[in-house]
Structure 1
Amino acid sequence: MSTSGTERVNEMFYDLAHCNEDKQKQIIEEMNKQFDDVILKNNYFPFTKELFNKIDKMIEDKKLSMENTVILLKCIGYCNALKNMDVDFYFSELRERVEKMIIEKDKEKEEKDEKFLIEICECYLFLNDISHSKLLSICVPRLLKAASKKEENEEAQKGVEMALLALSSIHFFEYVKKELFLDEISEIIQSNQEHRNLTHLAYQSAWRFFLYRFIHDQELKDVVVDELFFVEEATKELKELTRSVNWKAGEGEGKETKEEQIIIIWLNTLINCYDICELCCEGNAELVACVVTLCRASNVHCSEICHRAINLLGAMISRKSACVSDIVGKGAFDVVLEKIQQPTLDYNITRRCLEFLWNFSDRLRDEAGHKADEANFEMLKRKILEKLEEEGYEDITRSFREVSPFFDEGYGTFLNDSDVNFFVNI
């Protein structure tokens, strides 16, 4: 966020403590617009523990109503779900207040408080990196019920979207009992496949929530792949989203549209499925073709999409979730060679291209002698390896193997500019 934008948000937080309830609603609405206009466009605002503690103190001093608090937290949570911002809610006093409120409201079981309970559950899931199992057992069924509403008006659709987006914020390492979600989330996904009654973001969120449960229960693969046709649906959604983006608009401005943000979420989800969750589905030729199209369409202003697309192709080749013939035939090998030779390539894309080439050359060697049509495969392998050698990429991947143990993305060590130049120009 620009300095002026950061200052404006800080001013609005300060103003909240010094005005009446109606004026607070107006300020929160303005904040929401500020988040949409600034934070969601690749900018930054730190939601610190101290800030959440200030909000908690305002509630304690009756300077901020819980109704307005919920509206504010949902605004912050929505942005966090789309952009994964710096939100330090878990260690705040406000988190403790929210947890107690959910448990108390759940015990009351008064119908008039159901809407408020759903909203406070959304806030809790949106902002928490870690959720307690007791709270999940309260939040998950209620939000799934809210997401199952069939009304098609705009307000109802937005409510469904918020409920599913909050559910998708439950981290993949969190365990949720199957009986709390399986039938309901399957029905929501199947209903959309028949009637297309969800927004793109809501549908993606439903899938992400479901897929992240897969890591704890491998038996869900039959439902995910064979009954709900995950790969086909993901491909269909990515194709529609790719067509809906004007890729030349705003080039170089460092901004993302909502459609681009959903594409990034889809790519991250798919990467986790093939890599972390180890969802290995054979084939996937159409998904490969779709990701290649997306990689070529993305340009300077959406390098994050290109980075994630190549990362996904690398995960698919590494986990043997795509055939070598499909990787070559659908253009994945060619698009990686195209990208790595671009003079303006950033280091994230360089690293992913190198990892792809590394895994791809390993895959070629590993599969030698394991194909039914061995003669044709050997011909394909020889042709690809010759092209890699002609372009110098065998030397590049060999060098990359030598230095890669010394840097690790998870620990914040990355290739620098000189490394990038070395590998591209070797």
Structure 2
Amino acid sequence: MMEDMDKEEINFVLTKKLFDKMNNMIEEKKLSVENAILLLKHMGYFNVLKGTFNFDFYRSILNKRFEKMLVDENKKNEEKNEKLLADFCECYLLLNEGISSKTLSISVPCLLKVGLKKEESEEAQKEVEMALLALSNINLSWNYQRVTKELYFSEITEIIEYHQEHRNLTRLAYQSAWKFLINRLDNDKGLEEIIINELHFVEEAARELKELTRNADWMKTEEKDGGKDAKEVHFLIKWFNVIYKYLYSCNSWNKGNVGLICCVVNLFRTVKDDYREISVLCSDFFGDAMRSKSVKVDDLLKGEAIDLFLEKIIQSTLNDKMTYVHLLRFMNVSRQLKGKENDEKEESKRKTTKRKELEKMEEEGHEDIITSFHEIIDFLNRKYHRQLSTNISDYFVYV
């Protein structure tokens, strides 16, 4: 049932009342702990997969019970049940938006141990996927500093590197491993070099987006399944969330930026208006890239992002928010290009780039099209927060 639910429906089901009732059933021996775990793991799986967010489990009595059982099980020595401990950790992390330091210190090593499994059976892959998905849910700001590097670093890098060589993880497991690692970046800038140059995050993210875009048949799912989103949609959304976190937290330039931008441009053109949520994520990506210290304006030009903005401006209508968004994107790129490079060779290259862009705009009539929007800029600013310049020259680069 939960597989067919959307975010709102899942939030409606996963309530404190439900969790407290399950706790009472366990207390009264009407529900075994093993069956409760099985049910809660499935609930948690769809809770995280579909990106829901609530504190009901955290506020429930069941959360306190599970936290105590998790700690008690971990204290055992010879009698410790590793499978039961992992199950407890998964339930706890998949449903919880407020995780204690004590349980993090137990859960992270326990689930990384599961994630390191190399068996290729479907059952083993599912176990690994569930463990890494649970780890990826440690994403709130007050949890970042509690996961010390000693708890995770060698294991998570081994998981990612092994997959890159053998492709042993499911798509969701691989994305989850990256999300867990990227979430650590805010409090450990030393990870940048490893993420960029050793684990090649940008290239890997581009490859994943390309794979998800290559077969566009999933876009027909919406019509076939009565509005139910394809799994690919959820994977795309989750990858964009990780990419956003990377752009926000990373300060170092990456040579793979152009390839990633090309992938997003291609995805934007592919989905068109069929998936509005994906279109908005693509558009937001360009805004994030422009604000990121890790992306240069030349990356956006080489990745054909500027051509895309011009295409969308032509297609836009007066009441379409995309008119405003793409004019804003174009204006910001133009302003960045007006800056001068300190190095003479780089400045000469920049002038050549500017000249080519101007010539292209003139040949294709884009200058006239943008100028035609001048009369409605005040209207767009009143409707969408007053950020567009009323000086039309701000939208063009002059060499």
Instruction: Decide whether aligned partners of structure 1 residues 380 and 160 sit closer, same or farther in structure 2, where only a CA change above 3 A counts.
Output: same
SS at match of 2:138: coil
Equivalent position amino acid for 2:201 in 1: F
Q: Which residue of 2 aligns with 1:105?
A: 73
Of the three residues 152, 176, 185, the one matched with 2:156 is 185
Confirm or deny that 1:296 pairs with 2:269.
yes
Q: Which residue of 1 aligns with 2:37?
A: 70
Equivalent position amino acid for 1:249 in 2: K
CA positional deviation for 1:257: 1.4
Q: Which residue of 2 aligns with 1:281?
A: 253
Between the aligned partners of 1:158 and 1:352, the Cα distance in structure 2 is 41
Q: Which residue of 1 aligns with 2:395?
A: none
Q: Are the aligned partners of 2:20 and 2:61 in contact in 1 as well (CA < 8 Å)? A: yes
Equivalent position amino acid for 2:351 in 1: A
Q: Are the aligned partners of 2:132 and 2:176 in contact in 1 as well (CA < 8 Å)? A: yes
Equivalent position amino acid for 2:269 in 1: R
Deviations 1:189-246 (A, max 9, x none): 1101111111111111111100110111001111111111111111112111222441
* TM-score, normalised by the number of residues in structure 1: 0.78
Q: Which residue of 1 aligns with 2:308?
A: 335
CA positional deviation for 1:120: 1.0
Q: Which residue of 1 aligns with 2:391?
A: none
Instruction: Decide whether aligned partners of structure 1 residues 346 and 291 sit closer, same or farther in structure 2, where only a CA change above 3 A counts.
Output: farther
Between the aligned partners of 1:64 and 1:216, the Cα distance in structure 2 is 41
Q: Which residue of 2 aligns with 1:325?
A: 298
Deviations 1:241-270 (A, max 9, x none): 222441541355543211221111001110
Of the three residues 81, 85, 96, the one matched with 1:128 is 96
Of the three residues 362, 386, 393, the one matched with 2:335 is 362
Equivalent position amino acid for 1:237 in 2: E
Of the three residues 357, 365, 370, the one matched with 1:392 is 370
Instruction: Decide whether aligned partners of structure 1 residues 144 and 305 sit closer, same or farther in structure 2, where only a CA change above 3 A counts.
Output: same
Confirm or deny that 1:234 pairs with 2:205.
yes
Instruction: Decide whether aligned partners of structure 1 residues 347 and 151 sit closer, same or farther in structure 2, where only a CA change above 3 A counts.
Output: farther
Cα RMSD for the two superposed structures? 3.0
CA positional deviation for 1:403: 6.5
CA positional deviation for 1:358: 4.6
Between the aligned partners of 1:98 and 1:120, the Cα distance in structure 2 is 7
Instruction: Decide whether aligned partners of structure 1 residues 327 and 89 sit closer, same or farther in structure 2, where only a CA change above 3 A counts.
Output: same
Q: Which residue of 1 aligns with 2:2?
A: 35
Deviations 1:112-150 (A, max 9, x none): 521011011011111111211111100000000000001
Instruction: Decide whether aligned partners of structure 1 residues 86 and 69 sit closer, same or farther in structure 2, where only a CA change above 3 A counts.
Output: same
Q: Are the aligned partners of 2:317 and 2:323 in contact in 1 as well (CA < 8 Å)? A: no
Which residues of 2 match residues 5-154 of structure 1 at below 5 A? 34-39=1-6, 44-46=10-12, 47-87=14-54, 88-110=56-78, 113-154=81-122
Of the three residues 127, 136, 144, the one matched with 1:159 is 127
Of the three residues 247, 256, 265, the one matched with 2:229 is 256
Q: Which ranges of structure 2 fall in alignment gaps of 5 or more residues? A: 388-399
Confirm or deny that 1:210 pairs with 2:181.
yes
- 98-107 vs 156-165, greater mean Cα deviation: 98-107
Equivalent position amino acid for 1:126 in 2: L
Instruction: Decide whether aligned partners of structure 1 residues 191 and 168 sit closer, same or farther in structure 2, where only a CA change above 3 A counts.
Output: same
Q: Which residue of 1 aligns with 2:396?
A: none
Q: Which residue of 2 aligns with 1:6?
A: none
SS at match of 1:322: coil
Q: Which residue of 2 aligns with 1:376?
A: 352
SS at match of 1:197: coil
Deviations 1:146-197 (A, max 9, x none): 0000100000000001101110111152221000000000001110111111
Between the aligned partners of 2:359 and 2:23, the Cα distance in structure 1 is 64
Percent of aligned positions that are identical? 42
Equivalent position amino acid for 1:311 in 2: D
Q: Are the aligned partners of 1:274 and 1:316 in contact in 2 as well (CA < 8 Å)? A: yes
Equivalent position amino acid for 1:379 in 2: R
- 114-123 vs 325-334, greater mean Cα deviation: 325-334
Between the aligned partners of 1:403 and 1:317, the Cα distance in structure 2 is 23
Q: Which ranges of structure 1 fall in alignment gaps of 5 or more residues? A: 1-33, 408-426
Instruction: Decide whether aligned partners of structure 1 residues 172 and 364 sit closer, same or farther in structure 2, where only a CA change above 3 A counts.
Output: farther
SS at match of 1:100: helix
Between the aligned partners of 2:307 and 2:222, the Cα distance in structure 1 is 24
SS at match of 1:392: helix
Equivalent position amino acid for 2:94 in 1: F
Equivalent position amino acid for 1:271 in 2: Y
Between the aligned partners of 2:230 and 2:340, the Cα distance in structure 1 is 41
